[in-house]
Structure 1
Amino acid sequence: MRSTLTLAAITLDCADPLALAAFYGRATGLALHPKSDDEFAGITRDDGLFIGFQRVDDYQPPCWPGQSTPQQLHLDFAVENIDIAEAMLLELGAVKPEYQPGGDRFRVLTDPAGHPFCLVPDRH
């Protein structure tokens, strides 16, 4: 017997769950989950995928591309136009690190809590 796994949630550590949920909510157009609070907040996609943000005492943001505090994971977002998406995300509070290993294939940004994430061309 084989079981299929369906990704249901991704949760990121941070110092301020509501602020990070607001950043990703504005970036993706997804609404804040109604049970969000100062300890745990989230947004939910129409297909049910939940992105959560949990408060961690003494949170230390990832140091990318260095590894003194490893990135641990990163998210990829498919976009129609990387330049337009980058400009919008920078306006929302993302940061573009100087080191960009992807050339024209992808773009690396960091969210307000320091988590790196990538913008990739939508191949659909």
Structure 2
Amino acid sequence: MAIAQLSTVVLDCPDPDALGRFYQQLVGGELKQEDHDWTHLTLSSGTDLAFQSAPGFAPPNWPAPDDSQQFHLDLTVADLDAAEQQVLALGARVLDAGDPSRSWRVYADPVGHPFCLCKD
């Protein structure tokens, strides 16, 4: 039996509202700015994302075998090529496009958190 249920994943960042808007455009949901230090994205899946102001934020280095990537999100999509164009237009950048036959690709959000687009 589990002790708890995951309800929210919190990402440190320099601008919670801006990063919240990026992820809202990426995964949908309802965005609510709680205050200047915290923005909350309620997802239809039941798990939420929140964005917390972190003075001195330093993005993870990826890939770096001697440094932590901290965490990453795996997001499923129907069409990798189409989704890639959309996330790049939102401000993401490619970290690892990989072999074209591979079913996933790695990106960084606008402040450097890695995330993967994975073929559904």
TM-score with structure 1 setting the length: 0.85
- The 10-residue stretch of structure 1 (61-70 or 36-45) with the greater mean CA deviation from structure 2: 61-70
Q: Amino acid of the residue matched to residue 70 of structure 1?
A: S
Q: Does 1:15 align with 2:14?
A: yes
Structure 1 vs Structure 2 CA RMSD: 1.9
Structure 1 portions without partners, runs of 5+: none
Quote the residue 2:52 is aligned against: 54
Query: Identical aligned pairs, as a percentage?
Result: 38
Quote the residue 1:119 is aligned against: 117
Structure 2 portions without partners, runs of 5+: none
State the aligned residue count: 119
Partners in 2 of 1:100 and 1:117 — Cα distance?
12
Partners in 2 of 1:29 and 1:3 — Cα distance?
28
Quote the residue 2:34 is aligned against: 36
* CA deviation after TM superposition for structure 1 residue 16, in Å: 0.7
Query: Could you tell me whether the CA contact under 8 Å between 1:61 and 1:69 is conserved in 2?
Result: no
Higher fraction of strand: 2
Query: Could you tell me whether the CA contact under 8 Å between 1:14 and 1:55 is conserved in 2?
Result: yes
Call closer, same or farther: CA 1:38–1:95 in 2, change over 3 Å. Answer: same
TM-score with structure 2 setting the length: 0.88
Map residues 93-112 of structure 1 onto 2, 5 A cutoff: 93-97=91-95, 99-100=96-97, 104-112=102-110
